[in-house]
Amino acid sequence: MENILYYGDNLEILKKYIKDESVDLIYLDPPFNSNTTYNVLFKDEKGQSRSQIKAFTDFWHWDEESAKTYNYLINNDKVPAKVKELIFALHQFLGENQMNAYLVMMSVRLIELHRVLKDDGSLYLHCDPTASHYIKLVLDSIFGQKNFRNEIIWAYSTSGRPKDRFPWKHDTIFCYGKTDKTFFNVKEVKVPYSEEYINTHFPYKDKTGRVYRKRFDAGKWRIYYADEGMIPNDVWEIPYVNSMSPERLGYPTQKPLILLERIIKASSRDDGIILDPFCGCGTAIDAVEKINKETNSNRKWIGIDITHLAINLIKRRIADKYGKLPNIDFKVVGEPQDLASARQLALEDRYQFQWWAISLVDGIPKDKKKGADRGIDGLAYYALPDKTIKIAIQVKSGHVKRNDISTFATDIDSEGAEFGIFITLETPTNKMIKEAVDKGFIKDKIRQEQIPRIEIITIEELLNGKIPKVQAMYGKTNSSYKKADRYNNKIENGYYKKL
């Protein structure tokens, strides 16, 4: 099997592509129904904010899709009876509101996740107190109460101390197996004892100087060495990925790498397949690759997300972190590969089309503030020794004409950009091409090359590998977004250092 990153609705992806009992471990961090709007914050390497784009809104509405899914769960013979009973009872209790919409949409996905999980596999579902009590009922109905393994408390410290209640400073991770054969390798996730604990509880030393304690158990003395570490309990105190963390990529709800490493090491074999159906910025994927490098294992991963913002971020994260090492082989399914599929994406979702097109020229989406957006859909920044060059990007999926170029030129000036890239799905007219040429060229001081101030490039050309001239000139100095730290397998003081 190969590593695969899917763009699309995870319910449809699961049904279409993922086989029965083919996955060893599932980790999912779905929206929590917290009524919060989350933004991707694009920052450069110095931490300066470049742009902020809404990634998703974490609330659900009872609508036609929710009603259809509810009727499917209640009336379909393939849905287990206990699930039907629970969904009906929740509908009676909650009514047709946001919470019930969330539970209905999660239930139909958890049924599919149960289907694709192997008999000895595990599912870890990440949630918060907003809906955790209801989600556990759903998990019990699908996976069975007897297959409940753990309620893990991830405790962290963040800013903010409300005055009307105790602050929420933990998330919940529910762990379920599929059967009583669930694989679990606790030796891989032991943690070291504190020095104070060792001094208090390990009073003996053997001939080699190893510190140990002994306990009489089941009719014989058992020896426990301090350097073997201890099995973690179900409260994990792991720092949050705050705004100052070197891990931070700007994606909302990003989880710590060490959190995912512990889950993956404990609940998957060296050749296991790990699935993240809400993969966001790809922390689970990154954790799999890091573990593979450090343990010489061969785990594979499947990631699914419904936004091109996430898909592009994951591709960059893997390339930035592991690019100079042996290549991480994976394919992307669901992104446009030809003109026809690009047109289809533009028809289905104009914003997803824009985000995808902007990623083709190494740009980032631009804030859409109130009022006119002045025709700028994205930006790119290139850090030169003496200054930073700013590139404005516009994406057009419909009919284009000469006036679009003249208007774009005005918007480039208003944005304070040096160059503009005009991406079009349709073939530009001769008048458009002449208008772009008339806007002039800027001569690069070092290479003495002329770069068009406005370059028109079609989606078809980009799919065929053409690179805009300004990107070809300055692409290696791209500073539009914060890059993931380059992975290095050299250890210093017990930690993998950055390059």
**Rounded-to-integer distance, Cα 425 and Cα 437, Å:** 20
CA 63/CA 111 separation, integer angstroms: 21
How far apart, in Å, are the Cα atoms of 218 and each of 35, 187, 197, 201? 53, 22, 25, 20
For residue 324, the model assigns a pLDDT of: 52
The pair of structure tokens assigned to 86 is 């629970």
Tell me which amino acid residue 116 is: V
Residue 34 burial (CB < 10 Å; 0-12/13-18/19+)?
middle
If you write DSSP's letter for every residue of 205-264 in order, what string do you get?
E-TT--EEEEEEETTEEEEEEGGG-B---SEEE-----TT-TT--S-TTPPPHHHHHHHH
Q: Give the ranges where 349-427 is alpha helix by DSSP (H).
A: 350-359, 402-415
pLDDT of the chain, 499 residues: tens digit per residue = 889 999 999 999 999 999 999 999 999 998 765 455 544 444 444 545 444 444 445 457 888 999 999 999 999 999 999 999 999 999 999 999 888 989 999 999 999 999 999 999 999 999 988 889 999 999 999 999 999 999 999 999 877 788 888 888 899 999 999 999 999 998 899 999 999 999 999 999 999 999 999 998 888 999 999 999 999 999 999 998 887 788 877 777 789 999 999 999 999 999 999 999 999 889 999 999 999 999 999 999 999 998 888 898 899 889 888 875 445 788 899 999 999 999 999 999 888 899 999 999 989 888 765 444 457 999 999 988 888 899 999 999 999 999 999 999 999 999 999 999 999 999 999 999 999 999 999 887 767 788 999 999 999 999 999 999 999 988 888 887 777 888 876 533 333 333 2
Please, where in the chain does CATH 3.40.1350.10 lie? 350-477
- Measured distance CA(102)–CA(219) in Å, rounded: 53
What DSSP character marks residue 342? Answer: H
Rounded-to-integer distance, Cα 33 and Cα 131, Å = 7
**Contact between 444 and 467 (Cβ < 8 Å):** no
pLDDT at position 50: 45
Report whether CATH 3.30.540.10 matches the domain 3-183+240-333. Answer: no
Strands 330-333 and 364-365: unpaired
d(CA 444, CA 454): 15
> Residue 269 in 3-state DSSP?
coil
| CA-closest candidate to residue 63, choices 5, 111, 104, 29 | 104
CA angle 40, 400, 356 (to 5 degrees): 25
- Kind and range of the H or E element at 391? strand 388-396
| 0.95 surpassed by pTM | no
| Secondary structure of residue 2 in the 3-state scheme | coil
- Copy the structure tokens of residue 181: 């054969």
CA distance 309 to 352: 8
The one-letter code for the residue type at 474 is: Y
Cα distance between residue 209 and residue 197, in whole Å = 18
Outline which parts of the chain fall under CATH 3.40.50.150.
3-183+240-333
Q: What is the CATH number of domain 350-477?
A: 3.40.1350.10
